[in-house]
Amino acid sequence: MIFKTVQIQKCVGYILPENIFVIKNGKKVKLSKGTKINQQIKNILVSNGFKQISGFLLSENDFDENKASDLIARSICTNKLNNLNYKNLNTGRSNIYSTKSGLFIYNANNLIKLNNNSKIAISAIRPFSKVEQNQELITAKVIPYGIDKKLLQKNSLRLKDTFRVAPFQKKSITLIQTFDNKINEKLIIKSRNVTQKRLELCGIKKIEEIIIPHKENILCNKIQICINRNVDIILIIGPHAITHIKDVIPNAISKSGAKIIRFGIPVEPGNLLLLSKFKSSNNDIYIIGMPSCAKSPKENGLDWVLWRILCNINFKNSNLNELSVGGLIK
């Protein structure tokens, strides 16, 4: 691709680098940026008094900006299992959007490497964002008006399976609420409603609820009953936050046979979350000791953990460390 100023008689084939306004049949019309000059447009320019014009000329080894951005977007969306589609805006830009609700997943380091080439700019919302169907997630812009075919094809191969939306899965969930001495009806109802609404946003329409005294043995028994019924996720919230690893809730979880993955996560609000897992013959059952902030509908660490579990993303302790990047939510 070359950029130069040429005499108007030699301008056919060049691409306009900016909008130009001309008079055509007595009316003011716009020749848009990116327009390829043909004989008819050349005649209009001549009739408007143009003597020379600046523009881009593509070689046979170049793709124009629109074809290039289309190829980039198609490469990103090739695998339909990644739940992505795109729209070409015909300005050297394509926007990629989700075809399902879920969690938007990609490796940030890979995206940074893809942008090493200054001729292509690819931007995305932050990884592990909760997204809705038809939400715009990525924009791909070709910076020059043309780009070398080999360079583009090389980068396009690296784009396949770089991004995906993991859809939320239908899972069975039990909410266990515990109380000290006397049931606080208002607090129980609030926690139930907030939790139900939180899960509805992820496609879970119904949850089971159990209300019991804040006693270790009673809680352990209820957890084991849920495990025997192969409940996918057990959520536990007490009358106050879990304060240490030997508190009532973690002790009850350990006695049930589940393994505690971690108490305390690097997300605020939501630091005092307890994550544990019971490995059954059928599936992994996650048991979560909820932080006190889970009684609020505002986004917190519980959401970040639940989203991943509902998308079948396996949790290890190292995965929880990754939550620290962007983990100050408030």
Residue 315 has pLDDT above 80, yes or no: no
Measure CA of the first residue to CA of the last residue in the chain; give whole Å: 48
Our measurement of the distance from residue 230's CA atom to the centroid of its chain's CA atoms, rounded to an integer in Å, reads 29
Residue 118 pLDDT level (bands cut at 50, 70, 90): confident
- Indicate the class that CATH gives domain 62-167: alpha beta
Residue 258 has pLDDT above 90, yes or no: yes
C-alpha span between 232 and 170 (Å, rounded): 10
Kindly state the percentage of the chain with pLDDT values over 90. Answer: 81
C-alpha span between 182 and 87 (Å, rounded): 57
The per-residue pLDDT for 280 is 84
Instruction: Return the CATH number of 2-57, one of 3.30.465.10, 3.90.105.10, 3.50.50.60, 3.30.479.30.
Output: 3.90.105.10
Orientation angle between helical segments 149-159 and 65-77, nearest 10 degrees:
20
Secondary structure of residue 249 in the 3-state scheme: helix
Q: Which residue has the higher pLDDT, 65 or 177?
A: 177
Which candidate, 105, 212, 95, 122, places its Cα nearest to that of 164? Answer: 105
Q: Is the dihedral of CA 283, 292, 302, 96 positive or negative?
A: positive
Contact 140, 71 (CB under 8 A): no
Peptide bond into 269 cis (omega under 30): yes
The residues that bridge with 273 in the sheet, in sequence order, are none
Vertex 295: Cα angle to 294 and 298 (nearest 5): 65
Length of the chain equals: 330
C-alpha span between 233 and 265 (Å, rounded): 18
- Same CATH topology for 62-167 and 173-324? no
The per-residue pLDDT for 34 is 84
Q: Tell me if the pTM is above 0.85.
A: yes
The per-residue pLDDT for 318 is 82
The per-residue pLDDT for 165 is 98
Distances (CA, A) of 231 to 142, 250, 281, 290, 330: 49, 18, 13, 17, 32
Q: Please write the tens of the pLDDT for every residue from 202-249.
A: 999 999 999 999 999 999 999 999 999 999 999 999 999 999 999 999
Secondary structure of residue 195 in the 3-state scheme: helix
The per-residue pLDDT for 154 is 84
Q: Please write the tens of the pLDDT for every residue from 127-143.
A: 999 999 999 999 999 99
What is the domain partition of the chain in residue ranges?
2-57, 62-167, 173-324
User: How does the average pLDDT of the chain come out, rounded?
Assistant: 94
C-alpha span between 163 and 103 (Å, rounded): 11
Q: Which residue has the higher pLDDT, 160 or 75?
A: 75
Residue 91 pLDDT level (bands cut at 50, 70, 90): confident
The per-residue pLDDT for 286 is 97
Neighbours of 9 (CB within 10 A): 10
Neighbours of 279 (CB within 10 A): 11
The amino acid that residue 13 corresponds to is G
Q: Please write the tens of the pLDDT for every residue from 20-59.
A: 999 999 999 999 988 999 999 999 999 999 999 999 999 9
When pLDDT is averaged across residues 292-303 and rounded to a whole number, the result is 96
- Indicate the class that CATH gives domain 173-324: alpha beta
Tokens (6 digits) for 62: 């170049």
